[in-house]
Structure 1
């Protein structure tokens, strides 16, 4: 069975929403998600010839998107650490914490709770966060997550269990604080 590489525009049309939504789940900022989406499609365009077909095209695109999102967050975190010591010049600005998170599908009255939830999701380790986002936000099955993350299904189950356990503990404290503010 031979694989016919789709044209770049076909790939973009088919996967742009998937890429954007995965990136948005990681960075919770529309402009950053758009930047990551552009970076993903640039990489896809430059490296489609190296696609080995050891997985589906969709799985490969998920992997690239997750890696770009995690790299973006690492870069942003290192910039935040640098800026703690002050600005290098008047043209630079301190990177602010994400506070204007807008995710599609979140009702207006749930925006504050949604931001609280994503703030806590962001405290999870990379693998727990990735497994949780792919499972609970993107709705993927454990075998699909296993393929994307290149780990066993039992490892996915373990990551999801630990992620949920950590979220329960952290959200319990956050919602108590949230209720006291009201």
Structure 2
């Protein structure tokens, strides 16, 4: 009999087989193992905690519904990152579309709060002393092109290797290296004034 406690010793292939068999204990284990990574990845991209929670829930619902279609050509974690980044970027595009619509419909209004960036983005693991610096960094990350943003978040936030990122994004390793290089260049341009200002007495 397959139980939740037994799953702790399962290899990935066994876990996938159990998921495809529809065993709820396997699904509970999958969520417990990966919910932190999924949430943190989504949060680093959308930068709103409630939205990241929604995305994480959507990711696991999709996994539950489509696990039968998973062909195991990539690792399970790679598949999860791919779904997470795709959904996070879709949420960003939807939010931007809503902002444009709000701008058009509120040109003559007085309340434009929806047009402003969230004032208080915080990511897990960031100390109080680092919040101003990290808030500025994540605002800069938010301005990157989508592909640069995904590569940067996966490498520097989730500590994925270039090869792992290439699998998630379905591009070559050299393409990932190029994306990271351009992301760092763009971030340097954006952040240089901030750090110069902090150094000024």
Relative to the length of structure 1, the TM-score reads 0.89
Alpha-carbon distance between aligned partners in 1 of 2:130 and 2:52, rounded to the nearest angstrom: 21
User: What does residue 148 of structure 1 align with?
Assistant: 168
User: What does residue 90 of structure 1 align with?
Assistant: none
User: How far is the alpha carbon of 1:94 from its aligned partner?
Assistant: 3.0
Alpha-carbon distance between aligned partners in 2 of 1:95 and 1:17, rounded to the nearest angstrom: 29
- Tell me, yes or no, if structure 1 residue 163 matches structure 2 residue 179: no
2:164 is paired with a residue of what secondary structure? helix
- Does the 8 Å contact 2:103/2:115 carry over to 1? no
User: What does residue 46 of structure 1 align with?
Assistant: 65
User: What does residue 62 of structure 1 align with?
Assistant: 81
1:10-44: CA deviation from partner (whole Å, max 9, x where unpaired) = 11111111110100111111111101111111111
1:43 is paired with a residue of what secondary structure? helix
User: What does residue 47 of structure 2 align with?
Assistant: 28
**Alignment size in residue pairs:** 176
User: What does residue 125 of structure 1 align with?
Assistant: 145
Match of 1:4 among 17, 24, 27: 17
Higher helix fraction: Structure 1 or Structure 2?
2
1:93-104 paired onto structure 2 within 5 Å: 94=114, 96-104=116-124
- Does the 8 Å contact 1:23/1:37 carry over to 2? yes
- Does the 8 Å contact 1:128/1:159 carry over to 2? yes
User: What does residue 14 of structure 1 align with?
Assistant: 33
Task: Report the structure number with the largest CA radius of gyration.
Answer: 2
Structure 2 residue runs without a partner (length 5+): 1-12, 20-25, 107-112
Relative to the length of structure 2, the TM-score reads 0.81
Q: Name whichever of 2-11 and 65-74 sits farther off.
A: 2-11
User: How far is the alpha carbon of 1:177 from its aligned partner?
Assistant: 5.2
User: How far is the alpha carbon of 1:138 from its aligned partner?
Assistant: 0.7
Alpha-carbon distance between aligned partners in 2 of 1:55 and 1:135, rounded to the nearest angstrom: 18
Q: Which runs of 4+ in 1 moved over 6 A?
A: none
2:104 is paired with a residue of what secondary structure? coil
- Does the 8 Å contact 1:79/1:95 carry over to 2? no
